[in-house]
Amino acid sequence: MKHIVKILTLVIAITALWVGLLQTSTIPQSHTWLLPIYFVVSLGCYGLLMVGVGLMNFPTCPQEALLLQKDVVEAKEYLKQRGVDVSTS
């Protein structure tokens, strides 16, 4: 929920700045109309960056890995008892 508030605040601030720039002649109007496109591209780049950072910091769970390996061994034993070939060749 916090990210939504941050993003909405940023969108409102940028929209207010954009409308202000449209009404004044500080920046040429041809450049001012491109600001929403720049904003969307910047937001997309930010999103990709956050996904990349999240993937690089992906948490590892050694306890869960051990439990999963134990479950695999138990499943193989169960299947062998039922006559299913579970060789890893």
Render each residue's pLDDT in the chain as its tens digit; 89 residues.
Answer: 688 898 899 889 988 887 887 777 776 767 767 777 887 898 899 999 999 988 888 777 888 889 999 999 999 999 999 988 887 75
Tokens 């997309």 locate to 44
pLDDT at position 45, please?
94
- Note the pTM of the prediction, 2 decimals: 0.45
CA 77, CA 37: separation in Å to the nearest integer?
Answer: 59
pLDDT at position 54, please?
85
All structural domains of the chain with their residue ranges = 2-58
| Type of residue found at 77 | E
Residue of 51, 43, 32, 33 lying closest to 10 (CA atoms): 43
